[in-house]
Chains A and B, each alone.
Chain A
């Protein structure tokens, strides 16, 4: 293979360099072909936000926006972990109560035993990792379907939480650091600084990749598209930080309430880390491969069992972080932490965001977008004064709609060959 001689006629350089127009039309063709990604979630989010804002002006206030973030945080974090399991076409029904168990451990360690917050956080995350290892071993090595293993976990962990909670009493979480996670805000300056760092970092990564690829003569997205991506992120972050930095206290003289909730940069950091793992490391590549075709992955020398165990570990570990945030927000842990609708909301968030239940397709960002949709429904319908009953029905319908879109787009993708 004489590299320099054949490079000129390589398939990559046969296709004409893409322009902004061809980029847009390519995207449109993929969407029509069934590769819709997170588009339904984004549209749903916009429609819901506009609808609720018209019906209840109080929806579109800085105070409520901050509420949205803290309300949706726990579910979003659990959903981010679930994406990994869903990518293999597996399911983790125990993630909700796993987060409950971890929260109970947290509360016991910090309040009952009186250890500092970081010991408690570590204990909670380690608990999550252990739970995930056991689930993963049962699925990968013993060969029990994940649905059954995690259904058993769902039941058993519920009991574990009850036992840890001394048969129903709730344990308060009063540690300042832990309470701050979901209840305090960054100072406005720090908010702006982090937003600027995020945009700057994203721009650096995008531009470096663009330069690297064009230097090697590979196909690149047009620079205008790259600039638009960076600009888009800057606008979104800018508006969000601006709104969250507005004073939202009812009485400024008593207490000032402004800034980005601390949980937001935590979610953003985990989003960046997990996205990096999935998109830029060979481990992430192998997760997609096993989800797409486990046999091909095995023949390529990938240790399928190890990948399978690891995604359950990540899922339960993220559930632990979700449990910590839930405990922080409620200032306490009770036997129902991580129970009731948490798991279904988390699965719903991942699927609404565009992660396929059939495996092989999904991103961590899906969980965040889907989590936002769920939080908006929950919050908006609460403001409209609907009962929990109606909320559940609507959320169920939205989940069903998302799963329907997933199934239909798969059929369409199979027909057109795009995916």
Chain B
């Protein structure tokens, strides 16, 4: 779709003490596209997301947002840029209703008093804009919602603030088949509305169902970022497990990556 990415990362390094978790990572998220971020456990997906959302500081590398270099030092910076992260859980309060959850921490007020009618209207419009019709009442408590509906509310909460980049951390991990389809449909709709969407997932079916690009992390290195149509299921699995697949990914001995410095001849973040 769009040629220039909304968010581009170059040469990101991050380590926790002696352990280098991200090594010279390049990553791009395009508006109107779903970019799937895949990788095995410990590959650095969550760390990368936390760097983008400002929870972790990075040691090296540059962030380019909307064409200009930015620095993201706190979650507040990320939110100011329009970056919202939807976590797998821990994002909603069971004892509050849908509207209350969507506006939590950013309530609309008129004077001292909460402006409930405005919030309810905005929430209704946002959900309608995402074509969500599965919730009965905006005033029902979140505890009465199904897993898919909760995820929907969490995503709608992220969209409510005119965000530009929405990062979804395993949104379908705990869901059944029908609910997964529901959430994936919503993810697709976000991108169709022009947002840049980053989807972290372990599930290859989800990734292929919804993504435009796939970025694969292997032991802290971005081994490939390619169009979904240019790659097969088994190639992605190979990238995740071995860091290479045919002419994609790391060149040289895959086994040597975990130790020592990165080989000089690899092409991190190679976009085909």
Identify the A interface with B (CB < 8 A).
Answer: 1, 3, 6-7, 9-15, 212-213, 216, 218-219, 280-282, 285-286, 288-289, 291-293, 295-297, 299-302, 360-361, 413-414, 416-419
Contacts and interface: CB of A to CB of B under 8 A. Distances in A.
Given A292-B94, A295-B90, A413 B143 contact: yes
Nearest to A358: B95
A292 B104 CA distance: 12
Contacts of A418: 141, 143-144
A14 B132 CA distance: 11
B107 A282 contact: yes
A11 B120 contact: no
B104 A219 contact: no
A311 B141 CA distance: 24
Given A213-B117, A289-B96, A289-B104, A10 B143 contact: no
Interface stretch (B60-68, B121-129, B169-177, B248-256): B121-129
A295 B87 CA distance: 11
Interface in B46-105: 75-76, 87, 90-96, 100, 104-105
A280 B132 contact: no
A7 B127 CA distance: 10
Nearest to B132: A11
Contact of B139 (A219, A299, A419): A219
Contacts of B109: 282
A1 B120 contact: no
B127 to A, nearest CB: 5
B104 A280 contact: no
Nearest to B144: A417
B272 interface: no
A10 B127 contact: yes
Closest 3 CB pairs of A and B: A300-B105, A292-B93, A292-B95
Given A282-B114, A288-B95, A300 B104 contact: yes
Given A216-B117, A288-B93, 7 more contacts: A7-B121, A218-B120, A282-B114, A293-B92, A296-B93, A300-B106, A360-B95
Contact of B120 (A12, A14, A417): A12
B137 A7 contact: no
A297 B93 contact: yes
Nearest to A290: B93
Contact of A292 (B96, B107, B137, B138): B96
A219 B129 CA distance: 19
A297 B104 contact: yes
Contacts of A416: 144
Contacts of A9: 128
A296 B91 contact: yes
A216 to B, nearest CB: 5
A285 B114 contact: yes
A289 B132 CA distance: 24
A301 B91 CA distance: 12
Contacts of A218: 117, 120-121
A15 B137 contact: yes
B3 interface: no
Contact of B90 (A216, A296, A414): A296
15 contacts: A1-B129, A10-B125, A11-B127, A11-B128, A12-B120, A218-B117, A219-B137, A280-B113, A293-B95, A297-B104, A297-B105, A299-B91, A302-B104, A417-B145, A419-B94
B90 A299 contact: yes
A7 B143 contact: no
A212 B94 contact: no
A212 B113 CA distance: 14
B242 interface: no
Contact of A299 (B87, B106, B121, B128): B87
B103 to A, nearest CB: 8
A219 B140 CA distance: 12
A361 B95 contact: yes
- Residue of B124, B129, B136, B139 contacting most chain A CB atoms (<10 Å): B124
A103 B117 CA distance: 44
B135 A11 contact: yes
Contacts of B94: 292-293, 360, 419
A384 B128 CA distance: 62
A154 B3 CA distance: 67
- Residue of A7, A212, A292 contacting most chain B CB atoms (<10 Å): A292
Nearest to B120: A218
A120 to B, nearest CB: 30
Contact of B143 (A14, A289, A296, A419): A419
B112 interface: yes
A346 to B, nearest CB: 23
A9 B136 CA distance: 13
- Residue of A3, A13, A302 contacting most chain B CB atoms (<10 Å): A3
Nearest to A303: B105
Contact of B126 (A1, A281, A292): A1
A41 B19 CA distance: 58
A376 B90 CA distance: 43
Contacts of B125: 1, 3, 6-7, 10
A292 B97 CA distance: 11
A281 B127 contact: no
- Residue of A15, A282, A296, A301 contacting most chain B CB atoms (<10 Å): A296
B124 A285 contact: no
B136 to A, nearest CB: 6
Nearest to A416: B144
A285 B117 CA distance: 15
Nearest to A217: B121
B93 A301 contact: no
A302 B105 CA distance: 6
B100 A291 contact: no
A291 B136 CA distance: 25
Contacts of B114: 280-282, 285
Nearest to B79: A301
A357 B95 CA distance: 14
A7 B123 CA distance: 11
Interface string B142-177: 011100000000000000000000000000000000
A16 to B, nearest CB: 11
